[in-house]
Structure 1
Amino acid sequence: MAEPTQNDAHLLIVDDDERIRTLLQQFLTRNGFWTTAARDAAHARKLLAGLDFDLIVLDVMMPGDDGITFTKELRTHLQTPILLLTAKGESSDRISGLEAGADDYLPKPFEPKELLLRINAILRRVPQNDEIIEKPKVLHLGDIHYDIDRGEMWEGDNLIRLTATEVALMRIFSASPGEPVSRSKLVEDLGRDRGQAQERAIDVQITRLRRKIEADPKQPRYLQTVRGSGYMLAPD
């Protein structure tokens, strides 16, 4: 039985290998997704200029702009979740991808089922318009305020762009401000496989989120590290 999808999501597949593009499109279409494919970053830019996507599956190794460079570019103006396909054993690519703004990565070669599970895990983290929160709350982090009701972060009148993973992290921390959350619990709540590699990935996501919250990310005031316990959101 196919894994349930999120509202027949529209996926953009970016890979220079025509065979892989075709196989991914066929597999994901069979599992209920709308799919569009691009052969490289330049082709993807043209598609993104005219279409909205729910998630981008992006290969790291491509001619022209590689996947990490393209991810950095997209994150300057786009919040669409990005899943990177990386070469097996290239841990540096995975960390660089997360630092660039990717939501998750999957090493090649991979089982199609795992790709499906990771895509659905990312889509579940994206806030849905019909989600209901019992009462609106706002957390103040210095000059920044986080609207829990909307899942939005603002600095004055300026909206701070958050990735799907960052929104999910803020939702987890906002549920229990002032209380530490372990890295293993964050991995579990984000729907990822357990293990040191995923906990390291959490550290990278926390570093990125701090850059958006903290005046001095190296000496965090609001998203604190609690030695032996994990991370804690400490609003004003």
Structure 2
Amino acid sequence: MSEQPHLLVVDDDPRLRSLLQRFLADQGFRVSVAGDAAAARQALGSMTFDLLVLDVMMPGETGLSLVESLRRQGQEVPVLMLTAAGSPDDRVAGFEHGADDYLAKPFDPRELAQRVRAILRRATAAPPATPVAAPVQLGSRWFDPERGELRGADGTQRLTGGEAALLSALAVRAGEVLSREDIAVALGTPDAGERAVDVQVTRLRRKIEPDPREPRFLQTVRHRGYVLRPGA
């Protein structure tokens, strides 16, 4: 990543776009803006971004639809959703569609900058806060917590920053049950709620499990949380 991470702010409110562009630029970021999903797609096709700040409710294609489409296309650029609806169901919907974090409107711009930096840290390194574990085996592949990479004979499996952070937290404490609260703290989203953690786990299982419906490695421990059980 360059010294100045490049952000794309997508919001149909021209006043808010301008305010965020100026504020985030003052915080040391390069900032491009787009007024809707179509303009965002055009920008994504011609430039590389380190993170998207994406409004949920926009005319035409919504932010949720856009991020879901990007994930289907294999684009793993981190996404911070801005939403006027801050209920747990709305937050979970953002995670289900592929967002890395959310922020409810109205918000303090300083909190936005802090969340952007936290996501970028996870995306570039995603090291666990606890001592780094040795690589763990997940079937025919190995996960390296220090690098945040899942490797096998078929190459390196791409993980989002959030997925790598989640797998790192579990790998460092492999065999130990982590509560949803512990996991949310490890992901840097302590207020996300239990359902949001469940969504993140479901997304990760799609990448590490032979059959996500019958998890072999990332197992649920009823009423307690989740545990990673590495193995061949």
Class of the TM-score when normalised by the shorter of the 2 chains: 0.7 to 0.9
Alignment of 1:184 with 2:150, yes or no, is no
Aligned to 1:163: 160
**Pairing of 1:123-202 with structure 2 (within 5 A):** 123-128=120-125, 137-154=134-151, 156-194=153-191, 197-202=192-197
Alignment of 1:82 with 2:49, yes or no, is no
Candidates 43, 56, 73, aligned match of 2:52: 56
**C-alpha contact 1:127 1:151 (8 A) present in aligned 2:** no
Shift of 1:201: 1.3
- 3-state DSSP class of the match of 1:169? helix
Aligned to 2:221: 226
* C-alpha separation in 2, matches of 1:42 and 1:26: 23
**C-alpha contact 1:101 1:163 (8 A) present in aligned 2:** no
* C-alpha separation in 1, matches of 2:189 and 2:104: 14
Candidates 9, 23, 36, aligned match of 1:13: 9
**C-alpha contact 2:4 2:30 (8 A) present in aligned 1:** yes
Shift of 1:229: 3.1
**C-alpha contact 1:88 1:109 (8 A) present in aligned 2:** no
Out of 7-16 and 135-144, give the one that drifted further. Answer: 135-144
In structure 1, runs of 5+ residues without a counterpart are 1-5
Shift of 1:233: 0.8
> TM (normalized to structure 2)?
0.87
* C-alpha separation in 1, matches of 2:152 and 2:218: 16
Shift of 1:11: 0.8
Alignment of 1:203 with 2:198, yes or no, is yes
Q: What residue identity is the alignment partner of 2:56?
A: V
- 3-state DSSP class of the match of 2:193? helix
Deviation per residue, 1:52-89 (Å, 9 max, x gap): 11110001111222111110111122111100111224
- Return closer, same or farther for 1:228/1:7 CA change in 2, 3 Å cut-off: farther
Shift of 1:181: 1.6
> TM (normalized to structure 1)?
0.86
Candidates 37, 40, 52, aligned match of 1:41: 37
* C-alpha separation in 2, matches of 1:36 and 1:130: 29
Candidates 75, 95, 99, aligned match of 2:96: 99
Aligned to 1:212: 207
**C-alpha contact 2:10 2:40 (8 A) present in aligned 1:** yes
* C-alpha separation in 1, matches of 2:108 and 2:160: 26
Shift of 1:138: 3.6
- Return closer, same or farther for 1:102/1:12 CA change in 2, 3 Å cut-off: same
* C-alpha separation in 2, matches of 1:213 and 1:221: 9
Aligned length: 227
Aligned to 2:111: 114
Please provide the CA RMSD for this pair. Answer: 2.5
Aligned to 1:69: 65
- 3-state DSSP class of the match of 1:126? helix
Aligned to 1:3: none
* C-alpha separation in 1, matches of 2:89 and 2:207: 23
Deviation per residue, 1:27-47 (Å, 9 max, x gap): 111111111101111111221
**C-alpha contact 1:211 1:217 (8 A) present in aligned 2:** yes
Shift of 1:184: 1.4
Out of 108-117 and 52-61, give the one that drifted further. Answer: 108-117
Q: What residue identity is the alignment partner of 1:216?
A: D
**C-alpha contact 1:121 1:192 (8 A) present in aligned 2:** no
